[in-house]
Structure 1
Amino acid sequence: MHRLALFAYRLTVILLPALLCVPGFALNPNRSVSQYSHTAWRMQEGFFTGRATVVAQTTDGYLWFGTHNGLLRFDGVRFMPWTSPLGTRLPQDDIRSLRGAHDGSLWIGTRDGLFRWKGQKLVHISGISGPIIAIVEDRQGDIWVARGGPGDSQGSLCQIVDDKAQCFNQANGLPASLSGGESLIMDTGGDLWMGADHLLVRWRGGSPSLYTPPGLDSNSGVGIDALASSPDGSMWVGLDEPGHGLGLERLVDGNWAPFPSTQLDGSKLQVTDLFSDRDGALWIGTADQGIYHYYNGKVDQFRRTDGLSSDFISTFFQDQEGTMWVVTAQGVDSFHDINVTTWSAREGLTADNVASVVASHDGTVWIGNAGGLDSIKNGKVSSIREGKGLPGNQVRSIFEDQKNRLWVGVDNDLTLYQGGHFKKISRPDGSSLGPVSNITEDPQQNLWIESVQNKRLSIIRDLKVQKEISLSDIDPTRALAADAQGNLWLGVREGGLARFQNGHAEKIHFPHSMNSRVRQMIINPDGSIFAASSSGILAWKEGRTFVLGTRNGLPCEGINGMVGDEHSNLWLHASCGVIEIDQSELQQWWKHPANTVQFKFFDMLDGTQPGNAFYEPAARSKDGLLWFANGSVLQMVDPSNLIRNPVPPPVHVEEIIADRKHYSPLGLMRLPPLTRDLEIDYTALSFVAPQKMRFRYRLDGHDKDWQEVGTRRQAFYSDLSPGNYRFRVLACNNDGVWNESGATLSFFIVPAFYQTSWFHILCVIAAGSIFCIFYLAHLKRVTRRLQEQLAARLEERERIARELHDTLLQGFQGLMLRFQSVLKNIPSEGPARQMMESALDRADKVLLEGRQRVHDLREGSINGDGLWNDLALWGEELALDRSTRFSATIIGTPQPLTPAASNEVYQIGREALTNAFRHAFADRIEIEITYDHLKVRLIIRDDGKGMDNEILKRGRSGHWGLSGMRERAQKIGAQLNIWSHGGAGTEIDLSIPAKLAYQRPRKKFGWHEFKQRIMGHPGQESS
């Protein structure tokens, strides 16, 4: 293809692995490209709206793809068109080059200009125009670009300083005939190399060195499209046309040399791109032959017929995890190393119909295939094929005995392969043994052969069939093994095992193993047995049976084959993948068969191709490699060199969607009030196996614990309350390496006006005001009711006072007058007159006291001072004519009491004094009244005979003094306590809270007075 036509289909940018500072794992260069895991994203599948041209990776982990229709960002799952959050757009959608720099910026070369994207800001680089073909960052962090197109005075090589381009041209030593750069790289020594139409330029220290490939002397239309630096310091040079001195050349110490491999003629290639990966393997992109991979003299090819999206290669790129990216004319392909390697017809096997695999003592791996007996030794495949030494077509069972002889079942015959020849072993009558399904050897070196069709066992010794045993009662399933005691173990088709001993077969049944076909058995050194079956692992040990399957946590139960590694770990080739169980886990499982078993699992993303082999399904070679036959291809695992991805995946929160409105995660986000449905989109950037990424997240302010969400990349919340939130998300890669830092997003949901604090405070104030209004109204009603009750009571007191005055006192006064008349008729010297005068004096006192009581009933209450005086006078009167000593004490300043309180206190004190003088027989009786700001307290105590507990609780029969005292105390809200004990005296303690006892004095106008003005107050009149 002519160079100008080729220009429309390729982009020759080389991005060095030094792009990112986090080390990843590299590809195994000794493997062919077909043995890597391969994924293709094709245009026709809708991944790209325009043809992809270039790929780069920024330090945040994102992959960027340039296309003819714009820029795409890739997270391993989604290709998202790039748009600036600030609305800035690239003036050109035709992306020609990309570069992710160490400072986190992305350099974008378009058809007409260079741009830098960093920190949400897009900057146009001034001083440079035309198509930007390649971008390189040197060791000092400076950016260099190669301009394409026809030559001009501006120059083809430019350096970017302070967002301005400084280009170099003829004045700097570059030839005037240089018409534009086609490729640009930096070698291991830090020198820049630029390929142009007909020259190779090395730029060192500001001066150029020029080299002309030998084939360009007579081919002026051919250009240098690709460059790659070799670890030994040489330079690979790719030209866009084949021919002598063209195609793929190598520059060593200034001298040109052709491609140094007999497996590939470099002069026949149309090279579009070159890339030297981290291990020094060379990737060669061509215009019509796909990819060539070269390492240590070995060349292999991968093209469209192998699954490549196109045979035209635009560019290569290796990301931080070691994955190789290939941009083609029809899409993008990726290649990365895997733990389970496949060997198929493409690697040299006879066919993709692998039926069995056996490892011999010399390290050779023998493969039973359709049409050939294949072998692999030191990574090289050899085959003995039908018609070329193989006595048949289908190689079935293979076995190496204790004498290192190889036995091979081919079609219906058993043969011994020795010295490059096959020797057939026949039955005594000369007939064939039949299709051999399995072979084993006992400790006596007897060879046991199982025939598929004839249901019999044949015993071979000294290359002859010594005995044949019919298996009429047993239907074996192509699985034989002999233990150290000489017992022969067989897998039984209906499920379970059979032990053949001394000519008799004993069936051993297993739970949960009905109709489970046994495919392979292992006799362990301790005599226990493992059998791979469609129901899991059937195990037998010391007469006990076990089943290891999904009940123990295995991902599936269909086990095709199994083999132990050098550390006695058990490897299972299952219907869902390859499973490794550590020996320590097996030992624990033997002790506790119901336990969940920990294991490592390698699925299809790790290269596993599940299937069922017809005969020997698994083997371990001398070098420790594990081999599995799956009925179509052969697969290999190297337990000592398992690939592990050590790179924690960068985690990003991409956007937040609130009620279907999208927001970019920039700074502290403010979401509108009443946000109902919230979606947070996040991702993690690992491109080895994005499908195996695992996430956990937590929303501080809402979630109490981490949410384990598996592979889901969205978080959903609804009806979040207003406030501050912080969203945190963590992720792990395909090998379980977690990024513990993760990503965070802070946002604030603005409250509606009725969700604000001040609104809540106003509501509390309003509620309190309403409560106060209702309380004051209730208090007014209670006060009015009390006033009415008090008025009724006062009215009744006045009525009683009138009745007493008008009846009892008047009548008593009349009697006094009559007694006065009688007294006049009694001689003054007689004793009767003295007695009468004394009685009349006493009657006067009683009458005076009666009048006082009537006065009290009419006047209302006893004030504080009067209460003490009245009780003291009553006590002194009771003490007359008695030997009991009486004393009264007042503590504090007497204050006016409410009418109800003063009356009830007086009556309680009077009753207590009366009881003490009449019933206590005390030597001393005391009364004490205390006035303070908390309460009014009345104490009456004596040292008399006291009362027992029964009288204190219930009172004396027919007496109501104590009950009346308690009723009066309860009536005024007072607390009455009576302490007494037989022979220890009695103490009565009455306590009334100050707010219930005292009348409130008039104070300055305040809240209390305001309430009185509004509602009134008992015992006071409104002024």
Structure 2
Amino acid sequence: LEDRQGHIWIATGSGLSRWDGRELVTYYLHDGLAYGSVRVLAEDPHGDLIVGTDGGVNRVRNGKFVKDPALDLVGSERVWAILPRQDGSLWLGTRGGGLLHIKDGKLTRITSRHGLLSDHIYQLLEGPDGRLWMSGPAGVSAAAFADLEAVVAGRSPSVPVAPFGVAEGMGSSQMNGGIQPAGWRMSNGELWFPSVKGLVQIDPRRSPSSVPSTVFIESILVNDREMPLADEIRIPPGRGRLEIHYTACDLLAPERVTFRFMLEGFDNGWLPASFRRTAYYTNLPPGTYRFRVARLDAAAPHSVSEASLALVWEPRFYETKWFYAAFGLLLAALAWGGFRLYARQTRQRYQALLDERVRLAREMHDTVIQGCVGISTLLEAASGLPPAENGGKEALLERARLQARVTLEEARQAVWDLRHVSHGQSLDATLRDYAARLSAERGVPVDVSAEGDLGPLGARAERNLLLVAREAMRNALTHADPSRVWVRLSAAKDTIRLEVGDDGKGFDLAHSEAAENGHYGIAGMRERMEQLGGSLEILTAPGSGTRVVACAPRQNGFLDPISEASHE
């Protein structure tokens, strides 16, 4: 190669030599040469020498090897052809590595997977028709620079390539290479290539006649089972493997037929198939698709043969739109029902808190406050008596003392109720604690027994039963003068039964209810049991003791929640 300075560069199998007219200088590996066997030399637009070897590429500037990071990306590829272009790009043909493009420090590789006839390239020539001409063991081929640059930029997955071989009149498709020049462009634009059967002359301005063969779909297989061909193929539900076989006949040059295909509704664009005649898909979701396959012919890029068919992959019942809609409605209904349940429970809890506040306020008013008012009235009456009436003062003060003791006892009962009813202790255990305290205070034994499985009763039900039992025990110890008091709890499938009895003096029930003054609290006990949907019965007579029997219904092991809520 003679460079623009008049130096002669000689590529050899053992180094690179330069003759400047007076002296021959040879460069070896220790001088920076990538590999000893030099295959091709080319001068770029800036006057630098590009050296292709069997182990990489070098750049030589003013007789010295210079480091080029972009060329270092080539690595140890066997570079047999070099084409520098005016736009600053560099095209390299390799032995087995396809076509390399270098520009702006970036390297891109284009291979037979993108549509090239072969990954072995012997020569690169720029034709007068704006195409890159390549020779190799499969013949001569041409590709438009615009199509190649589209692959480099990622805008296209493949490049249309026009093949030239025996079908176009060549004696052989096997070209010679490895020793340059393996092709030459004449001044008139003609291209010459050496082949195993002599020189091949190609005029790029004269396109060979090409009639594209028709492409058609041969068969379609779903899970290795062939489906009958039709304009629309319906595939039964179920995921699996889809194979579509297609072909195109070209009796003159079958080796130059390449394809591309696309499954509309799944693929984002055309997929290069090169020479492959089968498309594979797995686990396609249900839906409607259209498969398209086209035969590529770079010699006649505007004359493309294409075939297509419609595919309908039917869904399983739980993949249909109506199922999704029904499932969505079910979820919405569940969410709405859950929200309604949560809102109702929240309202019930809030109402229970309000009821508890009202109850506490009522009990404080009826017990502690009323007791304090009574004490205050008695003290004021005593202070208003003249000094001479000491007997009257003492009587009033004694009544005030008794009232204070009763009021204190009622306050203690209210505190005890809050502590024991609210802390999750079982009803029978709470009654035993209360009975033990009363027995210790009054000196009268109080026995508590329980039969059956009480189970969960609910806070309101437990409180009402406890307060009925407490009231009955207090009445017995205060008014009946008993020697023994007993409390029996029994649980059946449908009812809870509470009995409080004593062996005291009894009383006239009819007279007591007619003259109810609050000391016995019979009306209050009945009201509490009615809130549970139950009943209260008092069995007594003068001189025969008293039994208070309270019964409340239960449903599925619980006290009826509807009965509780209806009274809240």
Q: Which of the five TM-score ranges fits, normalised by the shorter chain?
A: 0.3 to 0.5
Q: TM-score, normalised by structure 2?
A: 0.46
Give 1 or 2: higher helix fraction.
Answer: 2
Give 1 or 2: higher strand fraction.
Answer: 1
